[in-house]
Structure 1
Amino acid sequence: MTQDSAAHRHSTPPLGERTPSPHRSGSALFWWLHLGGWGGVFLVNYFSALANGKPAEYWTVLLAVAMTGCLGTLGLRYLLRACAERPPARVALLMIVPVLLIAAAMALAFKLVTDLGWCGHCLPFTRFGYYTYVIGQLYVVVGWTSLYLVMTTWRKLRMQTEAALAATATAHQAQLKMLRYQLNPHFLFNTLNAISTLVLDRDNATANRMVQGLSAFLRHSLDNDPMQRVTLKQELDAISLYLDIEKTRFAERLRLEIEIEPACWLALLPSLLLQPLVENAIKYAVAKRVEGGTIGLRASRQGERLRLSVVDDGPGWPALDHGGVPPDNAPRGNRVGLANTRDRLRVLYGAQQSFDVRNREEGGFMVTMTLPFETGGAPRE
């Protein structure tokens, strides 16, 4: 047995655990409402007749009428289903004749039962009374038709809404996975180039350590579910795998400062949210300067919100004013990391998040994010 066939076999639920289809559940609901509705019509009419002095055996007449209506509207159901895709106005015109015929059949059932003598004490059925009874049953059939159309239209709209929500959720998940998996190729290129240089310099121990660090970071990045949120402690542990690789490249030129409030260690955030921002800081504040630079990671709680900041003491963006600009207007090298991070926050939190980039007055660059403060388990994004 192949691996794919085994996976398919295990993914198929047992017969007793399969979820019933919407068609089956809708059909069962129809039968309950259809039979219960006509049973209710029969009982209401019977008790009303008794209250108006009709004899007890009058139930035979009303039962025949109710059964005729039940069977007639059952056929009307299939006609309505055949016209489901037509405009409502055309459906209403098409239903006029069938509704009149069913109402007439119910009145005819009334007349036949009385003519057969099943209700000998019933009042004679005159022609005028016959027409009156047709009109009375017409209201019942029109009510049944209207209720059927309302319920089927509501059910169709509900299914369309559920399908639209499912499609939106799937699109959001696909978007999140795409954003999450966009590792910067420059990072991989620089790391592999540094490993090659170490091998040529016969610094095998450092090269081996760097390969192991790269392997651990890539395994963490690709094995972790991109739809899973992690605690800030887990996020910083993952960033440490990345920084261990960069420290091998830059040594003392890369300095790190971490300022985390104790209450924030268990706060939830999207996995590897900070890594692209740290990578940008290393690229512009450390790699391009002989003296290197300092990168700061800060987290604080502000009421019901978590505030995260990635700062550096590099040159910043000369064209960036102190009010900040959207990441779309950032220099080309910065655009992917900042835009991906911003888009992930928008998809996940909507208006409950904020994303701000600016130059620091004391020099350097800062990215600040706020999102809802959540702790506990790690719910899916």
Structure 2
Amino acid sequence: MAARSLPVPENLAPTVSPFWHKIFPVNIDLAVKTILGVWSAYFIVNAIRALLWGAPDHSHDLIVHMVTAIIAVTVTWALYRLLIMVGERTASMVFILTIPTIFLALGIAYLTDLFLAYPRPILEYIGTVHGVSEHQALSHFFDTAFVDYLMLVGWGGIYLALANSRKSQVALIHSRNLERATRESEMRALRYQLNPHFVFNALNSVSSLIIDKKNGPAENLVDGLAEYMRAVLNDYGADMITVEQEIAQQIRYLEIEQVRFPDRLSIDVKIDPDVRKWKIPALIIQPLIENAIKHGVARSCEPVCIRIVAARDGDHLKLSVANEGKMRADYQQNGSTGTGLANIKERLAALYGPAAALFAGNDKNKKVVATIIIPDENQIFRDYCL
């Protein structure tokens, strides 16, 4: 089949010399293996039959089958070239495997008998070898040609099935590569979306300190935010970082916020040792921390503890951020744009599909808890069948 639309990946396209590429321009490995395989099987089966049968004339039949197989390999190559000439037109391929293949099968039978009969006439040779009349010799000739026809059609079906399977594999690989590139672009766009969102919240924090005439803490907060942003952009600029790195970033951010809320904000972190090196999207819990500050600490007159927990839950990672307070159903109408949670959901969907999730709500201990469920790194960009 002609490969016109998509280049074959290296693992599906063997490297061959220009000479062999001219002889087998498409699917050289499939063509060679199927041609040699079919006719080698034909010869081996007949050789075994000759050896087991033990009839006096079967040694001669073995030579016939050997000559047939050698000639048939060349004729099958001609059929291969006819099939790739018509490209991917199904009707043309069906036509090639019917009418022209009949003549190719007759050619195999004719050339075999011509080679073995030389210099005698073909029908005389067949009649002498098989002890039949000339009329019966002609019938025997067509019977042999019919077997060769079935062999050619069988080869054609095998080759076209394998070639079509390879074409589907190539299309699937290209589709997955395109989907991967699209998802990676979407992931970067979503991550960059966090920057203005983060800056927006950070400026609100600075503004609050300035309004309260706390210029010293405001200056410290600006310096701390600048250092934090530098670390995020330089030290952890990768798309995927470890749980340990992600939580270290958020602790640093919370320490900056403690300048603003020295008496109200405390931090509690728990990381299971076996999930410290688990790879997760960078800044994935940043919006949760910001929400805890904005909706929990900033709106409370009582001390608030922000608790970050990273633990294994079966074959998934569970990341949770909790703080005292109550999550209101109308929080998006109370000064929240909803960008943070939406961003997390979109990033998780782009990376893991339905294998990851985000849950947020109130627990029985009067805390607001947001939990992210993340599978291992092998689940990234995995295809899911519904």
If the length of structure 1 is used for normalisation, what is the TM-score? Answer: 0.74
How far residue 213 of structure 1 moved from its aligned partner, in angstroms, is 4.5
CA distance in 2, matches of 1:263, 1:53: 79
Structure 1 residues 163 and 103: alpha-carbon distance in aligned structure 2, compared to 1, 3 A threshold: same
CA distance in 1, matches of 2:333, 2:180: 29
Name the counterpart of 1:34: 35
Aligned residue for 2:373, secondary structure, equals strand
CA distance in 1, matches of 2:333, 2:356: 20
Matched, 1:310 2:353: no
Structure 1 residues 62 and 306: alpha-carbon distance in aligned structure 2, compared to 1, 3 A threshold: closer
Name the counterpart of 2:160: 149
Name the counterpart of 2:99: 97
CA distance in 2, matches of 1:334, 1:66: 76
Q: Is the deviation greater in 118-127 or in 39-48?
A: 118-127
Aligned residue for 2:306, secondary structure, equals strand
Work out the number of aligned pairs and report it.
346
Name the counterpart of 1:324: none
One-letter identity of the residue aligned with 2:57: K
Listed one character per residue, the Cα deviations across residues 260-288 of structure 1 (whole Å, up to 9, x for unaligned) are 26546626251322111101222223345
How far residue 129 of structure 1 moved from its aligned partner, in angstroms, is 1.1
Structure 1 residues 49 and 117: alpha-carbon distance in aligned structure 2, compared to 1, 3 A threshold: farther
CA distance in 2, matches of 1:287, 1:144: 76
Structure 1 residues 297 and 99: alpha-carbon distance in aligned structure 2, compared to 1, 3 A threshold: same
Whether the 8 Å contact between 1:264 and 1:299 is mirrored in structure 2 is no
Listed one character per residue, the Cα deviations across residues 111-131 of structure 1 (whole Å, up to 9, x for unaligned) are 312330599773367111111
Structure 1 residues 292 and 284: alpha-carbon distance in aligned structure 2, compared to 1, 3 A threshold: farther
Structure 1 residues 115 and 31: alpha-carbon distance in aligned structure 2, compared to 1, 3 A threshold: same
If the length of structure 2 is used for normalisation, what is the TM-score? Answer: 0.73
Listed one character per residue, the Cα deviations across residues 332-369 of structure 1 (whole Å, up to 9, x for unaligned) are 83422112222333444444444222245665632123
Whether the 8 Å contact between 2:288 and 2:340 is mirrored in structure 1 is yes
Structure 1 residues 192 and 62: alpha-carbon distance in aligned structure 2, compared to 1, 3 A threshold: same
Name the counterpart of 1:107: 109
Which runs of 5 or more structure 2 residues have no equivalent in the other structure? 1-8, 16-26, 381-386
Matched, 1:123 2:130: yes
How far residue 331 of structure 1 moved from its aligned partner, in angstroms, is 6.7
Q: Is the deviation greater in 353-362 or in 62-71?
A: 353-362
One-letter identity of the residue aligned with 1:38: W
- Which of the numbers 12, 19, 39 marks the counterpart of 1:22? 12
CA distance in 1, matches of 2:104, 2:333: 72
Structure 1 residues 56 and 364: alpha-carbon distance in aligned structure 2, compared to 1, 3 A threshold: closer
CA distance in 2, matches of 1:330, 1:242: 26
Whether the 8 Å contact between 2:272 and 2:312 is mirrored in structure 1 is no
How far residue 151 of structure 1 moved from its aligned partner, in angstroms, is 1.1
One-letter identity of the residue aligned with 2:161: V
Name the counterpart of 2:226: 214
Name the counterpart of 2:268: 258
Pairs within 5 Å for 1:264-303: 266=276, 268-270=278-280, 271-287=282-298, 293-303=304-314
One-letter identity of the residue aligned with 2:82: L
Q: Is the deviation greater in 125-134 or in 289-298?
A: 289-298
Matched, 1:74 2:64: no
Q: Is the deviation greater in 99-108 or in 89-98?
A: 89-98
Name the counterpart of 1:85: 88
Name the counterpart of 1:356: 359
Structure 1 residues 45 and 82: alpha-carbon distance in aligned structure 2, compared to 1, 3 A threshold: same
Whether the 8 Å contact between 1:58 and 1:122 is mirrored in structure 2 is no
Name the counterpart of 2:6: none
CA distance in 2, matches of 1:78, 1:309: 63
Name the counterpart of 2:340: 337
Name the counterpart of 2:251: 240
Matched, 1:62 2:62: no
Whether the 8 Å contact between 1:285 and 1:292 is mirrored in structure 2 is no
CA distance in 2, matches of 1:304, 1:367: 20
One-letter identity of the residue aligned with 1:122: V
Whether the 8 Å contact between 1:355 and 1:367 is mirrored in structure 2 is yes
Whether the 8 Å contact between 1:353 and 1:371 is mirrored in structure 2 is yes
Listed one character per residue, the Cα deviations across residues 313-342 of structure 1 (whole Å, up to 9, x for unaligned) are 34632547xxxxxxxx88783422112222
Whether the 8 Å contact between 1:316 and 1:363 is mirrored in structure 2 is no
Aligned residue for 2:369, secondary structure, equals strand
How far residue 228 of structure 1 moved from its aligned partner, in angstroms, is 2.2
One-letter identity of the residue aligned with 1:92: V
CA distance in 2, matches of 1:370, 1:55: 72
Name the counterpart of 2:146: 135
One-letter identity of the residue aligned with 2:130: L
- TM-align CA RMSD: 3.8
Aligned residue for 1:357, secondary structure, equals strand
One-letter identity of the residue aligned with 2:12: P
One-letter identity of the residue aligned with 1:244: E
Listed one character per residue, the Cα deviations across residues 95-115 of structure 1 (whole Å, up to 9, x for unaligned) are 312210111101111331233
How far residue 380 of structure 1 moved from its aligned partner, in angstroms, is 8.8
How far residue 190 of structure 1 moved from its aligned partner, in angstroms, is 5.5
